[in-house]
Structure formats: structure tokens, C-alpha cells
Amino acid sequence: MTTVAIDFGTSNTVISILEADTQQPKSLRFPNLSRVFVGVTSQGERLEFPVIPSLLFIKSPDNIILGEGVKSQRLGLSQNYPPERLFKKFKRDLAGDYQPPPRQIDGISYNSVSVSELFIQTIWTEIKKQNIQPSHLVFTVPVGAFELYLDWFRELGNKLNVTQISIIDESTAAALGYAVKSPNKLILVVDFGGGTLDLSLVRTVNNSHDNYNLRAEVLAKSEAYVGGEDIDVWIVDDYLRSQNLTPEQIGKISYQNLLEIAERLKIQLSKNQTASESWFDDESFMSYELKINREKLEEILEYRQFLQQLRDALDEVLTFALRKGISKNDIEQVLLVGGSCLIPAVEQLIISYFGKAKVKLNKPFDAVCHGALAITQITEIDDFLRHSYAIRLWESYSKSYIYHRLFTKGEKYPCQRQEWLNLQVANNGQSEIRLDIGELGDMTQTEIAFDASGRMTSSTLQHQESFRSLDNQNQQVCVARLNPPGEVGVDRISVFFEVDFRRTLLATVKDLLTGEVLVNRVAIYKIN
């Protein structure tokens, strides 16, 4: 039996296992699904990184193409293979608060949930074809993942009939992978992939002389909802603006082709000072030529406020660490993972914080997935809440929402509230008590404008609180059904909240009138 790790990414997905004989991580390669990135070590050794592009194209309900097969056949980039049948960035949509409407293809409805499940289940079938019998499945998720997103992975693991399912933050996983080989280290991981920017500061403690008895402590985390896919869009938008064109004017097919070119140019700039590529649309007879250099890309990143978001994330982690008595100089290694960390401006900014000697960029594509396998060697992980859990209430006086926090971000979990919360009904004869319960996260946004000369200008990053309901339909959770109905002015139920080791919010509900326990330690989103 084998431990399998799946790093489900916005741009690329990596599948790894622990080899039975060596107990070393190995990334799997799949015919027609995988593409291979090639790297070279400082000693000149050639390295290969197999990944599966996170793409899915529906030729027909019985003919679904994944990964490299989509790229090699140029699916979604012509009238014969229209972009409406191409799904990309579905992992990002899955994690989002507001998902795009489903698409109707050949009479079947596809949304981000069904497409993500189809994508992973197809890969799972390929894993089984390699005579691998998984007993433990580890999923990696962004640092800022909300609880409903985590629960989707748990449910998917159950559908795959896996005995044991674990979930770990992507950047934390990369830190653990490094720390297992070098225990008693203080490591910062900066994971900049296709969809998110995640940071984790992790310290491991070797409890004995046995490397299989390690305890890991997550000291600080930060994230931003920005990734390499955004940069591709920014490059194309900048080009179209320079040509006085809009995405609507050139059409969906041309726009998708330009995004493909932008991705390739971005990759080329990791090695070259300039990059250019031409493309001729033989349907509209339009010719496009994109040219970009490192200076221009850095200008785009700066004006789009990405570099500021990176600075803010680094500052947040360092501030958290300082509160725990850890200075920037105490951090021993800074590991850069994710393909977007190859962007020179990103690497140079991080080096300016920590110095070149500490910053490592050895395994940009598979460090997260390989690190996730290290969870089998960690006896305990001390982690904390990245989001607050809260009850959202409408205040008629101010005509705005207010929040009654149940647990505040930064608290270590598992944890419990010290007191029970007593609740009353709002109306006589009321037979249910419902609460709007969810997670509070910090979101940032900025506005881009252009002056009379066509130069970009941008406003200061705006920070705001985002509420994410724990109910799938964004409705209030029914925490109690009352029999007999309640009376106004009388405490009717008492609720005790806790967060378990899986970071799931649980509730125990007592009926104060009947003395009956209505709910006993049930996940909030499963109460009905």
C-alpha cells in the first residue's frame, strides 16, 4: 500500500508517491497527460519535473482530454475546438466565493465542482493503471483555503475509497519536506503558483534521535489571491491596450491564443532579457506580435500592485514571527516554490529581504507535492487558524453587517470556546433557530487607470474583510429545530463551539426547555 500526494494546482498538477524501496518521493509521469520541465542543478545534473497541466477539454461526454493532451492538440484555440469546451483555472473557481455559471455542453451541465472532480478522478484512474494501490491520500491546499473548500477534498477522498485522507497547506508542505531532511530548522516557504501566493514559516523539532519522530510548528502564514494566471492576463491586456483593442473586439479564440503566447513569453523571461512571438489568425486574417522585456514585466507587476502584495505578505509573516520572539535573521532558509517564483523580479525582491545566501530555488515544481509526503514522518503539527469563525448579524441601525466572532484568526487549533452561547427565538411560535455562520478572510484589491499619455497608474491596495458562509448555498445554518416552538424573551438553546484537529467548526446544541441534546459535536455545514 502506498501514500499518494496530489498537489492540485491552478496551472499545473503534480502527483507524487513514496517509493517503497527507498522511501524517497517520486513524481509520477502519465502518457498523454504529463509535460516535463527540465532543470539543471548547481553541479550540472539534469533534472526532470513531470506535471499535468490543469486543463480539461470536452470533445464529447465520452471523449474527455486532460493535461498535455489539451496543449499538444491545441484544443480550445480554433473554431474546430472552440474555447467554450475548454476548462482552465477551475481549481481557482472551485475555491472562490462566487463561481461562474455552469456551461451546457452536449446537454450536460459542467461547473467548477464537477470539472475538478472529473479531472482528479481521471488522474486517479491513471494512477491505478500504474499498479499503485493508495492507502493514504494527501491533498495540498492554499494557505487561505476556506472550510468548504477543504471539505470538498475530504468528500472527494471518500469517493475515491481511500482509507486515510490528509490535507495540508501547500507552502507548509514544502517546508516540512525540507525540514524532515534537516530537522530543528526555521524555514520560510514562498509558494507562488498559478492561482495564489502562499507563505509559511515552519519550525521542526526532533523529539528524539529518530527522524520519524518530528514535531512541526507553523509559526506564521500569509497569502494573497494572485498568481501566474493573472500575470498572463495582465500581459495580454497591456498588449491589447497598446494596440487600441479590447478582448471583445478580437474574440474568444484570439484572446485564448494570446494568453498561451503570454505564458510562453513569461517563461522565456526567466532566462532571457527579452522575449517575442508572432501569431497569425487565419480566420480573421489578423497578425499579432507580442514583445516584452524584463523591465516591462516588472512595470506591469508593480502597477498591478502584485509586488506590493508580495511585500505585504512578507511583512505580515515577519510581524507574526517577531511577536513570537523570532527575528528575520533567525530564519535559516527561504525556499521559493511554484513556477511564478522563476520571474526575476519576484526572486530579486525576496533576495532583497533575506540575502542571496538564504534564498533557494531548487525544486520549483515538485517541492510542495514531495513535501506533502513528509506528513507520514511528522508525529504532530501545531497549526493556527488563518481565518476567524464568526456569526454574521444584520444591524438595522447602521444598515450593515456586524460579526460575533467565535474564534479569532491566529488561535491554535484544536480549540474550544470557554463558554456556551445562549440563544432565543425572534418571534413567538418560531420552530427553528438559524444562524449565518462562516469564515472571515482578508481580501485586497486595487484599481488600475491610464493617464492621457497611456501610462498606467494604480491606487493604493484596499484591504477589506470577506465573509465566506459555511453553507453550500450561502444560506443560514439551522442549528436547532424546536418542539415545542419557542417564546420571545426566553433563552431556548445553548450552543458550544469548537474547532477540531482538521480545522472543522463543530457545534453541540442543547434544548434548555427539554434538556435534550439536539446536536452533538457535528460539523456546522452538516447540521440540518
Percent of the chain past pLDDT 70, that is, above it, reads: 92
pLDDT for res 128: 94
Domain end call among 377, 409, 435: 377
Average pLDDT on 202-228 reads 79
CA angle 294, 300, 306 (to 5 degrees): 110
SS3 477: strand
243 and 167 in a common domain: no
pLDDT for res 405: 95
Kind and range of the H or E run holding 446: none
Q: Which residues of 285-310 are buried (b: 16+ CB within 10 A; e: fewer)?
A: eeebebebebeebbbbbebbbbbbbb
pLDDT for res 435: 95
Could you give the CA distance from residue 309 to residue 303 in angstroms, rounded to a whole number?
A: 11
State residue 126 phi and psi, 5-degree precision: -65, -35
pLDDT of 52 > 60? The answer is yes
Number of domains in the chain: 3
182 and 169 in a common domain: yes
Domain that holds residue 463: 384-526
391 and 292 in a common domain: no
pLDDT of 212 > 60? The answer is no
pTM: 0.90
Average pLDDT on 466-488 reads 88
Q: Tell me the pLDDT band of 299, cut-offs 50, 70 and 90.
A: very high
**Cα distances (Å, whole numbers) of residue 134 to 4, 6, 207:** 6, 12, 29
Give the CATH number for residue 451.
Answer: 2.60.34.10
pLDDT for res 139: 97
346 and 413 in a common domain: no
Domain end call among 377, 398, 420: 377
pLDDT for res 99: 79
Burial class from Cβ neighbours inside 10 Å (0-12, 13-18, 19+) for residue 210 reads: exposed
Give the CATH number for residue 248.
Answer: 3.90.640.10
pLDDT of 210 > 60? The answer is no
171 and 27 in a common domain: yes
pLDDT of 471 > 90? The answer is no
pLDDT-wise least confident of 226-240, 325-339, 430-444? 430-444
pLDDT of 463 > 90? The answer is no
Give the CATH number for residue 317.
Answer: 3.30.420.40
Could you give the CA distance from residue 323 to residue 203 in angstroms, rounded to a whole number?
A: 15
394 and 464 in a common domain: yes
pLDDT of 495 > 90? The answer is yes
219 and 234 in a common domain: no
The chain-wide mean pLDDT, for the chain, equals 90
For residue range 121-177, list pLDDT tens digits in order.
Answer: 999 999 999 999 899 999 999 999 999 899 999 999 999 999 999 999 999 999 888
Q: Tell me the pLDDT band of 442, cut-offs 50, 70 and 90.
A: confident
pLDDT for res 138: 96
372 and 392 in a common domain: no
233 and 221 in a common domain: no
pLDDT for res 66: 96
350 and 223 in a common domain: yes
Q: Which residues contact 324 (CB under 8 A, 6 or more apart)?
A: 219, 220
Please say whether the beta carbons of 251 and 223 come within 8 A: no
- Strands 517-523 and 286-293, sheet pairing: unpaired
**Cα distances (Å, whole numbers) of residue 103 to 63, 112, 113, 192, 524:** 17, 10, 12, 29, 30
Q: Which residues of 323-344 are buried (b: 16+ CB within 10 A; e: fewer)?
A: eeebeeeebebbbbbbbbbbbe
259 and 172 in a common domain: no
Domain end call among 335, 360, 377: 377
Nearest to 142 by CA among 262, 7, 20, 239: 7
Q: Tell me the pLDDT band of 181, cut-offs 50, 70 and 90.
A: confident
94 and 242 in a common domain: no
